[in-house]
Structure 1
Amino acid sequence: MFVSALLSRVIPPDSLRRRLIAIRLAESAGKGVFISGSVVYFTLHVGLSAGQVGLGLTAAGFSGLVSSVVFGMLADRVSRRRLLCVLFLTLAAGFGLYSLVDSAAAFFALVMCVGFVEYGTSPTMSALMGTLVPPGERVQLKAMMRTVFNIGFSLGIGGAAVAALSPGLLIAIPLTTAVLMVVAAVLVTRLPAGERKAIPSGLKRFAAVRDLPFLGVIGVSAVLASHMTIVLVTLPLWALSRTSVPHFVVPLLLIFNTAFVILFQVRVSKGAETVAGASSTARRSGYWLAGACLLIALTAVTGNVVVVTAAIVAAVILLSTAEIMQSASAWGLGFGLAPEHAQGEYLGAFDLHVITQNIAGPAVLTGVVVALGPWGWLVIVAVVLVAATVITPAARHSERRLAVDTSVNSR
């Protein structure tokens, strides 16, 4: 009964949405295999140091600051279906080439190229979906796709764990990912081409990153997306170094978070289909995030194992709630504030709130907490509450700017 209810939430009744879901499943499983197994593969099979692997993956993240916008712009000017297919096939080739890497220099060169291409798939996929799915249904479909992503990613982690059992199987990590990228590319060819809106004459290049009100929404959303860094990095480090929580509990927190997203992402996304609804959802996500950080700060005042463990688990529940609400709001704001003729570019620019958090979040948030202890968590609370307060007026301002620009371009 439970499984059938879950499947009904993530498997749409029509063939178009099922194909989009299948693409997401193949992509996420491939990423799950590679991301979870990459450190093991590159250190044990290739012979790189952990520092070299970390530096390479960080450099790949920086490439997303450029490629997300560039490929988004390209998606507005060429066939989005063809571009997405080419991107997946290029990724397949890149992941396959990882099996031939035998030096740090080759690793750095390839990881930068793969990262550059990889960050282009999200805006291209979102832009293609925008041409195939009515506006009122996009957020719900994105919620389904994120749920499926977590399922596929978890399956990928399991595959990587099996490959890590034997040195001879490690080569399967990049090769399996490559095969799954090919599967995603083949599935893309079964989608309709979709119709793009004509680009108005005289439109400036890089319009999204010139749009200051839109950039303001991206910046505030980056703060509200702190939940991802806290769950993955800051909270585990805090729990291990500053609390009496048993160490075996820490990895279970991420498993719980993943299950929570799978179960509730679709349900919570209702109401975020419009800019007003999405900004309201974003504001409330900030309150949940601030509450979680406050609860974590309070773990410093007691050494009771049971109390601290309960507080940490409760904080993860709050963080997970903030995560699914903020994710839904990001889809609603991204689609709602993107001009129809420049969806790829604007959606690619909106992805910068996640890319920025991935790059800067671990260093900034962990640095604040390490330096200030529980007071660091209170600083985060204050910043998050400010972001929650300004997200709605920022979104309204950007929406008014969009309405003016649309009126001018339609003349």
Structure 2
Amino acid sequence: MAESIGKGVFLSGSVVYFTLRVGLDPKQVGLGLSAAGMSAFISSVLFGVIADRVGARRLLVMLFAALAVGFGLYALVDNAFHFFALVVVVGFIEYGTGPTNGALVGNLVPAEERVKLKAMMRSVFNIGFSIGIGVAAVAALSQRLLVLIPLTTAALMASAALLVTRLPDTPSRPVPVGFKRFAAVRDPRFLSVVGVSTVLASHVTVILVTMPLWALNRTSLPHFLIPLLLIFNTVFVILFQVRASRGADTVDGAGRLARRSGYWLAGGCAVIAVTALNDDIVLVSVAIVAAVLILSVAEVMQAASGWGLAFGLAPEHAQGEYLGAFDLHVITQNIIGPAMLSGLVIAFGFWGWLGIAVAALVASALIVPVARRGEVTLARATASATSP
């Protein structure tokens, strides 16, 4: 909750803070935030490996403490050079908290309860993030109050670090003979699961970027409905994420759930495609609302299936490394998805939406077999490493 409120405050208010208080150009802010996102390709896996070696709880305390310092330093930034340097460092550290947090869950929670706990944590995260947006909105009311955006986030990250110290500590698991560091990113079968999951995670881009851009530029949907639809999506995740995680605590169950999420994703895109054929305001409004509902179902299913696949395909001694590598499917979608999918539908309209739907169906057909092959590879590697 502390982390999510802090991220809600900063992510929703950072553009306002850097442009109005620091005086940066919007393009400079966008470039800096993009550079921070690119650092995730390295930090997600790297910090996962470190978590397995030094202990997830210890590393998570250090990361939150470092973030508290980093966000606090934003209050002193007064030029573009300092902004670029700090935003990349903070982004690099921030993207390491995900796999480290997951490794801590893997160390403290029995295998059959990990996916359910992650679902509960995501619901809590959405609640906290929403609260953070409200705090940022209050801070944006006055030029003087804008400095509260980084300072509030810094204080909440420090609180998160203190809270993590209250959790039990577990020793790092010994690495069996035969396993190598960075094995996750060198395993083609595991990476194939990550690749297919990247396509199934397209709901992230569609809900947050592609659908709003399409609705604003190519439909008669009243503009005030768009933020309301995003609020509806957030509430839906809060209410149904835990329920959607049922059955995803095994690789096979998670694979089947991922397959169903692809069907829902394809259905949502097909419904939006209808709005390219008829611009009647009533039809467009009904179709967009229905599509957001369908895509929200796809979102909670795919998120739960992703946790099940990540935990299920990760060796017990390398939870952080494999979880960090699996996070690349969301990181990749966040970086290349907005430009690719939005460009596709804006350029090709109806056929662009159908193209996304077809890609989702292809990914649905592939996810179960590639997940099973990844599970077989893990079983063989484990047997080989532990045999005399």
> What TM-score, normalized by structure 2, do the two folds share?
0.99
Determine the structure 2 residue equivalent to 1:192.
168
Aligned-partner Cα distance in 1 for 2:162–2:120: 21
Question: Is 1:34 the counterpart of 2:7 in the alignment?
Answer: no
What letter corresponds to residue 331 of structure 2 in structure 1?
I
The 5 Å alignment of 1:206-355 reads: 206-355=182-331
Aligned-partner Cα distance in 1 for 2:190–2:377: 9
The answer to whether the 8 Å contact 2:177/2:386 transfers is no
Question: Is 1:81 the counterpart of 2:57 in the alignment?
Answer: yes
- Which of 66, 81, 84 pairs up with 1:105? 81
Question: Is 1:398 the counterpart of 2:382 in the alignment?
Answer: no
Question: Is 1:203 the counterpart of 2:154 in the alignment?
Answer: no
Aligned-partner Cα distance in 2 for 1:367–1:388: 23
Alpha-carbon displacement from aligned partner over 1:286-319 (angstroms, at most 9, x marks no partner): 0000000000000111121111101000000001
Question: Is 1:60 the counterpart of 2:36 in the alignment?
Answer: yes
Aligned-partner Cα distance in 2 for 1:29–1:301: 41
Question: Is 1:118 the counterpart of 2:101 in the alignment?
Answer: no
- Which of 131, 135, 141 pairs up with 2:111? 135
More deviation, 191-200/250-259: 191-200
What letter corresponds to residue 100 of structure 2 in structure 1?
T
Aligned-partner Cα distance in 2 for 1:201–1:46: 53
Alpha-carbon displacement from aligned partner over 1:138-181 (angstroms, at most 9, x marks no partner): 00000000000000000000000000000000000000000000
Structure 1 unpaired stretches of 5+:
1-24
Alpha-carbon displacement from aligned partner over 1:213-259 (angstroms, at most 9, x marks no partner): 00000000010000010111000000011111011111111001000
Determine the structure 1 residue equivalent to 2:27.
51
- Which of 47, 50, 66 pairs up with 1:90? 66
What letter corresponds to residue 165 of structure 1 in structure 2?
L
What letter corresponds to residue 375 of structure 2 in structure 1?
E
Residue 202 of structure 1 deviates from its aligned partner by 4.5
What letter corresponds to residue 92 of structure 2 in structure 1?
F
Aligned-partner Cα distance in 2 for 1:263–1:251: 19
Aligned-partner Cα distance in 1 for 2:227–2:49: 39
Aligned-partner Cα distance in 1 for 2:254–2:179: 27
Aligned-partner Cα distance in 2 for 1:301–1:229: 22
Aligned-partner Cα distance in 2 for 1:184–1:139: 22
The answer to whether the 8 Å contact 2:263/2:361 transfers is yes
The answer to whether the 8 Å contact 2:179/2:385 transfers is no
Aligned-partner Cα distance in 2 for 1:269–1:195: 29
Aligned-partner Cα distance in 2 for 1:309–1:370: 19
Aligned-partner Cα distance in 2 for 1:111–1:203: 35
Aligned-partner Cα distance in 1 for 2:131–2:172: 35
Alpha-carbon displacement from aligned partner over 1:354-374 (angstroms, at most 9, x marks no partner): 100000000110111111111
Question: Is 1:368 the counterpart of 2:344 in the alignment?
Answer: yes
Aligned-partner Cα distance in 1 for 2:240–2:63: 31
Aligned-partner Cα distance in 1 for 2:320–2:280: 51
The answer to whether the 8 Å contact 2:4/2:126 transfers is yes
Q: How many residues align?
A: 387
